[in-house]
Amino acid sequence: MSETRHTRLLIIGSGPAGYTAGVYASRAMLEPILVQGIQPGGQLTITTDVENWPGDASVMGPDLMVRMEAHAKETGTEVIGDHIQSLDLSVRPFRAEGDSGTTYTADAVVLATGAQAKWLGLPSEEHFKGFGVSACATCDGFFYRGAEIVVVGGGNTAVEEALFLTKFASKVTLIHRRDSLRAEKIMQQRLFKNPKVEVLWDHSIDEVIGSSDPRGVEGVRARHVKTGEVTEIPCKGFFVAIGHAPATELVKDQLEMHNGGYVKVQPGTTKTSIPGVFAAGDLTDHVYRQAVTSAGMGCMAALDAEKFLAAMDGEDIPEAGAYAAPASGPVSSPESAAE
């Protein structure tokens, strides 16, 4: 049955940014509603060991997210298993429609919708998705026991996926388009030491090849980026690990974006181009993209929202765009901060 729920603060997303915003907003007595989306717990639920979350030398990603959810609930966040299908930021209160049929209205919103896996964009990749092509080793690695696997990518995710897949595979070939990885050095060391791993440098993927009946991957065709020479590598599983794109579908025509589609925030804050709308985590950060930085931004978003709501109680709401960074002024973004 459809219903309308009003809240002072609606948090959209249940990764480290969303849950941390929930903890801080609850402790500020804002009684936030947090909508989890289709991936409760966010990206860390599809990984195994997380070794850089302060306080835990090693923790399983899914376990960490269960703890974060429990913490948010414990402090008073109402966590709802729903997915926001549309969000109208042109009205006050803001209005969000959930897949469940519930309409959420909110005086302020924290956007923490994170990022989603990128794909190569090949028709053959699309054809074999779910039939040997995957973007999640922890979800699908088990299906390839004793088989050969190819992973494409050169970042932390690709290296982590490749190492994880050695638990199941007879051999893992990591294909990268350059001659050096961008993954952390410690991860690279582990990769190069693993006898099941072979790295194919300077190659891009031309095509995923396979059978049609039953549908299944049989290999990939890789091309040397300098010589153009084509090599066929047999595999049963092909894992795409080439990064993630910000999940901005809800707001892409409503908020200012930058750096190829990340939500733009005012320097040093989580304020977007619409007052009362705050963005945190991978959705707005194209540089750091870590659990701990996302959690940090979730904290900032809740504190920014608290100030906004306190001001709203006593004053007029600033005009849309009032928080946008001046076009000619200095802009500090994750990008400039990292320089």
140 is a catalytic site residue: yes
- Longest Cα–Cα distance of the chain, Å, equals 68
Decide if 311 contacts 259 (C-beta within 8 A): no
| Residue 153 binds which entry of ligand FAD, ligand NAP, none, CB below 5-8 Å type-dependent | ligand NAP
Q: Which does 243 bind (CB under 5 to 8 A by kind): ligand NAP, ligand FAD, none?
A: ligand NAP
**In the set 156, 266, 269, 284, which binds ligand NAP (CB under 6 A)?**
156
Q: Which of 5, 52, 73, 76 binds ligand FAD (CB under 6 A)?
A: 52
Alpha-carbon distances, residue 204 vs 5, 11, 17, 120, 177 (angstroms):
49, 39, 34, 10, 5
Active site residue 139: yes
Binding mask 283-322 for ligand NAP (x = CB under 6 A): ------xx--------------------------------
- Number of residues in contact with ligand NAP under rule CB under 6 A: 19
Amino acid, res. 309: L
CA distances from 50 to 134, 213, 292, 317 (A): 21, 39, 11, 41
Selection from 243, 239, 245 nearest residue 175 by Cα? 239
Q: Which of 8, 203, 236, 244 binds ligand NAP (CB under 6 A)?
A: 244
| Choice from 7, 39, 134, 166 touching ligand FAD (CB under 6 A) | 39
H or E element in which residue 79 lies: strand 78-80
**With respect to ligand FAD, which residue has the nearer C-beta, 219 or 257?**
257
Q: Which stretch binds ligand NAP (CB under 6 A): 72-80, 146-154, 219-227, 260-268?
A: 146-154
| Interacting partner of 140 out of ligand FAD, ligand NAP, none (Cβ under 5 to 8 A depending on kind) | none
- The whole-angstrom separation of Cα 129 and Cα 140 is 11
Please say which residue, 101 or 192, places its beta carbon nearer to ligand NAP.
192
CB of 24 to ligand FAD, least distance (A): 14
180 burial via Cβ count (<10 Å: 0-12, 13-18, 19+): exposed
Report the C-alpha gap between 213 and 150 in whole angstroms: 21
- Catalytic option among 140, 282, 285, 304: 140
Torsion 89-295-50-260 (CA) sign: positive
Structural tokens at position 8? 């002072």
| CB closer to ligand NAP, 121 vs 130 | 121
Q: What's the N-to-C CA distance of the chain in angstroms?
A: 51
CB 228: neighbour CB atoms within 10 A? 7
Q: Which is nearer to ligand FAD, 28 or 84 (CB)?
A: 84
Q: Which of 89, 115, 205, 277 binds ligand FAD (CB under 6 A)?
A: 115
- 130 within 8 A of 235, measured Cβ to Cβ: no
Catalytic residue among 49, 56, 63, 136: 136
Q: Residues in the site for ligand FAD, rule: CB under 6 A?
A: 12-18, 35-40, 42-44, 46-47, 50, 52, 83-84, 112-115, 157, 160, 247, 250, 281-283, 289-292, 294
Q: Residues in the site for ligand NAP, rule: CB under 6 A?
A: 52, 120, 152-158, 160, 177-178, 182, 204, 242-244, 289-290
Give the catalytic positions in this structure.
136, 139-140
